Amino acid sequence: MRRLVEGRSSASRLAAVVADGGRGGVCGRGSWRLPLALLVTLVATSPAAAEEPHRLLGVSSCASAGCHAAAEAGHPPWHSAFTVWATRDPHSQAHRALEGPVAERIVAAIAARSGGRPQPAARAHPACVACHAPGLAASSREGVGCEACHGAAGEWVVAHTLPDWTTRGNSAGMVDLADPATCARTCVPCHVGGAPRADGSTMEVSHDLIAAGHPRLAFELRGFKSGVPPHWRDRVALAAAGTAPAADVDPLAEWSTGRLVVLEAYLAQTARQAAAAPGATDGLLADTWPELTAFDCYGCHRQPVATGDRGQPVAPSRGRLRLEPAVWSLLDRAAPGAGAELTALRADIEAAWWLPPEPARLRGAAERLATLTAAGRPSGPAPSRALVEHVAAATDPANWDEVVATLAFLEAVLDHQRVRAVPAERVAAPAAALADLRRLLAFEAHGVGAARVRFSNPRGHDPSAVRGALTAAAALVGSLGEP
């Protein structure tokens, strides 16, 4: 599968979002429309505010130059957050995926699975809008806007500008995305899968939808945050520079928390899929087991190679149904308190992959992961060099997802050392080695400009080269823990 990357100027995108944004926002396009004191009075006494405390306002409520739409240069991240989102963040363009031939094929796949029932267009389809256009109906062209992640702003849009405002622990509905568990749980319904919403819209990408052209879902918290232009303070960089307390930043804890939340969401979704009755979801959700999105895409969709797993010759056409390695790898590091239970669960499902796993067992494991996440990962020293090299040696270089999971772990170890004042000259070589490994794992692309195509599979993956780069990077990252 492949997707075209569409081009559009930053200026036109910003203008379009401001022009098409939600109506009735608090901020104007250039300044506050009313004095702040009067706005506080209006919001506090408005009947609508009392009746709908968490109502959506749309992105234009953030689009004033006096709020979050300042130029990036010369302004702190919070002041230019809207500008960054509107001009460079792919979330602002999520609604555009609901137009064109791929969207039509996906809706056709849903129609076929539903027995041919008529389907609305993708831009209004309940299987699409919850993640691609979750805002106000009148401003759905804003894509995934501010409130999709930060929470409906009706109650806090004014309050969060006041001097005594704190996001942590607020009761106004603003989501504390600085907390790793909260941030991950905000992301996973769309990037892993979530339960159907009260309005009937769904958040699940089945194997049928992937076959029709939808990209596969794979999420890693720190990797996704690093892959979008930040409109927040980079606490790791600030701590490494000595301008923020290192005790407030623990990249390893963020990595493990993200892994636990992803597996929790995966187990909950697999439980729903295993319990689904065939034909009961009108084609919106997977209803037949095995639902192949629970398994490794590249276990079946694999390129012929001269040597396969662990360097042993394999028949080029042979596949292997195994649960998604991006979710299940390194659980002994991310979830040591549940490692044995999860390993047994994985082995049981894979041994009888054609049988629906017991939903209650899946839900129970998800609940125990939620308890582990709530308890938090205790801060401590970085893993030893021996442990880091052991993790790398245990990674299957022929399994793209498994290597990507190990790369994320190594990057978290590197950042853990950075915020604990390891000199920059010592960090440079391991950082470069990790960048080399990341380049080996990148999907191929060809063409230029609007015609540029990137494949959604690891074509040309070279296990031998990956093994060498992984071993070298692990040795350098592990050495940072030595005097």
Residue pLDDT tens, the chain, 483 long: 333 233 344 444 444 444 444 333 344 333 333 334 334 433 443 444 444 447 888 888 898 888 899 999 888 888 999 999 999 999 999 999 998 998 999 999 888 888 888 899 999 999 999 999 887 554 457 889 999 999 999 999 999 999 999 999 999 999 999 899 999 999 999 999 999 988 889 999 999 888 888 989 999 999 999 989 999 888 877 777 777 777 678 899 999 999 999 999 999 999 999 998 776 667 778 888 999 999 998 888 766 544 444 455 555 556 678 999 999 999 888 888 788 889 999 999 999 999 999 999 999 999 999 998 888 776 677 889 999 999 999 999 988 999 999 999 999 999 999 888 788 899 999 999 999 999 999 887 777 776 676 666 777 788 999 999 999 999 999 999 876
Inter-helix orientation angle 251-275/400-418, to 10°: 150
Residue 176, exposed/middle/buried by CB under 10 A (0-12, 13-18, 19+)? middle
The answer as to whether 75 is a domain residue is yes
Sorted by sequence, the CB contacts under 8 Å of residue 470 that are 6+ apart come out as 392, 395, 397, 403, 406, 407, 437
User: How far is the C-alpha of 147 from the C-alpha of 186, rounded, in Å?
Assistant: 11
The domain of 74 spans 1-94+137-173
The answer as to whether 155 is a domain residue is yes
Sorted by sequence, the CB contacts under 8 Å of residue 468 that are 6+ apart come out as none
The answer as to whether 469 is a domain residue is no
The answer as to whether 438 is a domain residue is no
Residue 6, both tokens: 């569409």
User: How far is the C-alpha of 228 from the C-alpha of 91, rounded, in Å?
Assistant: 9
pTM: 0.84
Sorted by sequence, the CB contacts under 8 Å of residue 254 that are 6+ apart come out as 180, 221, 222, 412
The answer as to whether 366 is a domain residue is no
The answer as to whether 46 is a domain residue is yes
User: How far is the C-alpha of 50 from the C-alpha of 43, rounded, in Å?
Assistant: 9
- Confidence at residue 28, expressed as pLDDT on a 0 to 100 scale: 36
- Contacts of residues 292-295 at CB distance under 8 Å and 24 or more positions apart, as own/partner, are 292/207, 293/205, 293/206, 293/207, 293/210, 293/216, 293/217, 293/324, 294/266, 294/270, 294/323, 294/324, 295/321, 295/322, 295/323, 295/324, 295/353
User: How far is the C-alpha of 338 from the C-alpha of 173, rounded, in Å?
Assistant: 32
CA 324 to chain centre: 16
What's the longest Cα–Cα distance across the chain? 74
Number of domains in the chain: 1
- Confidence at residue 454, expressed as pLDDT on a 0 to 100 scale: 67
The answer as to whether 278 is a domain residue is no
The answer as to whether 81 is a domain residue is yes
Residue 436, both tokens: 């080399």
Cis amide prior to 229 (ω within 30 degrees): no
